[in-house]
């Protein structure tokens, strides 16, 4: 593992940086430092902690033409004893490398990935919010930087981690969901399971339509039959049907969400029945109508858990959930947030303590 080189100007920059705004929002503020690493000649050259600054890219860098890039999203929380902890970062490290393999990009050894995340967290410790539900959001990403117009995998890459002190993404209101029955986000054999920007770019046109129709989130169905639920715009989906928590089983078109897995683990520990299976939109809508589907919710790193208020179908029909406030989903959310914030004992390996630094 390569040691992260600490640049003195980065340390001076972050020591002087403060945030006075109590409304942090999401991605509104950035820590004034970043991790940067260059891949060339078949290996990672070095890892550096640098001042946050704009990137300089050649106009013919392959990422700008062929979209060869990946990213992750993860959070750091302050515990009551003032220590800070990453939440299940090993899962992010493994998923980052899974995405890298699919996008023909170099992997980063897990211990190197975790070390880089720990360094930027340690130097940004005073920027980790104290209020429950708030966090320091980390965004590791990698882009292809080889210059040339030829369509082939890049041989040069840039890995960066930035950090953003962020408030609670969930405002407390249930969301309205538009069911996308025409466009598709990804297809079997594609890159749906990878955390790459193209998946999100493919959803933006439908998202614009979703907002225009007065909804908050887009629901994506499978690309073959346009029948089975896959994901929301950027989150995993759950429904409570006949008292059971049901979520679409993972395929190569569904992202393996860290929050999704955590919810399944917590619910199972609470003796709730969790089913991972194919889930059709018709089953959910019929359940909403006859009362067997009492609530539905979405989950992701940023929002944690957000309950669904209603579904809007293509024909204009609205299906309103009986429990739009999400009794079960909110119980799961409260427990997950308590674990993340150190207010409740975490299962083994769920929290990763950040070492103390004096600088």
Domain match, 255 and 282 both: yes
Residue that the structure tokens 């897990």 belong to: 110
- Count of structural domains within the chain: 2
At 137, list the tokens: 């959001």
Domain match, 160 and 181 both: no
pLDDT at 352: 97
pLDDT at 303: 87
Domain match, 138 and 189 both: no
CATH number, position 96: 3.30.470.10
Average pLDDT across each block of 10 residues of the chain; the chain has 359 residues. List them in order: 95 92 86 98 97 97 98 97 97 98 98 98 96 95 97 97 88 88 93 95 95 96 96 94 98 96 97 98 98 96 93 97 93 96 95 85
Domain match, 74 and 200 both: no
> In this structure, is residue 66 part of a structural domain?
yes
pLDDT at 234: 86
Domain match, 95 and 141 both: yes
Domain match, 155 and 261 both: no
pLDDT at 172: 67
Domain match, 77 and 155 both: yes
Q: Whole-model pTM?
A: 0.95
Taking the C-alpha atoms of residue 352 and residue 359, their distance in angstroms, rounded to an integer, is: 21
Q: Are 152 and 213 in contact (CB under 8 A)?
A: no
pLDDT at 170: 65
pLDDT at 171: 64
> In this structure, is residue 357 part of a structural domain?
no
DSSP helix/strand/coil, 171: coil
At 252, list the tokens: 């190569």
Domain match, 86 and 38 both: yes
The whole domain housing 294 covers 175-340
At 251, list the tokens: 């395929």
Strand partners, 163: 138
Taking the C-alpha atoms of residue 147 and residue 94, their distance in angstroms, rounded to an integer, is: 28
């Amino acid at each position: 593992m390569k040691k992260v080189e600490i640049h003195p100007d980065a340390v001076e920059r972050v020591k002087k940086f403060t945030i006075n705004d109590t409304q942090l929002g999401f991605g509104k503020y950035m820590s004034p430092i970043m991790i940067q690493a260059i891949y060339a000649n078949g290996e990672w050259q070095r890892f550096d902690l640098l001042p946050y600054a704009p990137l300089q890219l050649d106009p013919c860098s392959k990422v700008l033409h062929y979209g060869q890039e990946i990213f992750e999203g993860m959070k750091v929380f302050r515990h009551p004893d003032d220590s800070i902890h990453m939440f299940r970062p090993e899962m992010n490290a493994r998923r980052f490398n899974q995405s890298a393999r699919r996008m023909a990009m170099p992997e980063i050894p897990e211990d190197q990935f975790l070390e880089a995340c720990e360094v930027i967290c340690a130097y940004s410790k005073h920027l980790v919010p104290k209020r429950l539900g708030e966090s320091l959001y980390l965004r590791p990403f990698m882009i292809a930087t080889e210059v040339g117009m030829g369509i082939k995998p890049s041989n040069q890459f840039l890995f960066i981690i930035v950090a953003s002190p962020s408030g609670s993404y969930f405002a407390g209101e249930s969301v309205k969901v538009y069911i996308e029955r025409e466009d598709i986000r990804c297809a079997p054999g594609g890159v749906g399971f990878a955390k790459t920007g193209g998946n999100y770019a493919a959803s933006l046109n439908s998202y614009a339509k979703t907002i225009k129709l007065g909804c908050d989130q887009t629901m994506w169905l499978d690309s073959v039959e346009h029948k089975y639920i896959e994901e929301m715009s950027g989150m995993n989906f759950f429904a409570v049907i006949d008292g059971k928590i049901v979520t679409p089983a993972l395929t190569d078109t569904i992202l393996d969400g860290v929050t999704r897995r955590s919810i399944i683990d917590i619910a199972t520990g609470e003796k709730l029945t969790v089913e991972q299976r194919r889930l059709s939109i018709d089953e959910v809508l019929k359940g909403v109508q006859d009362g067997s589907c009492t609530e539905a919710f979405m989950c992701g790193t940023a929002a944690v858990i957000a309950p669904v208020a209603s579904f809007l179908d293509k024909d204009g029909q609205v299906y309103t959930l009986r429990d739009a406030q999400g009794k079960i989903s909110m119980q799961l959310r409260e427990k997950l947030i308590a674990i993340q914030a150190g207010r409740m004992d975490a299962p083994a390996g769920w929290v990763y303590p950040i070492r103390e630094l004096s600088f």
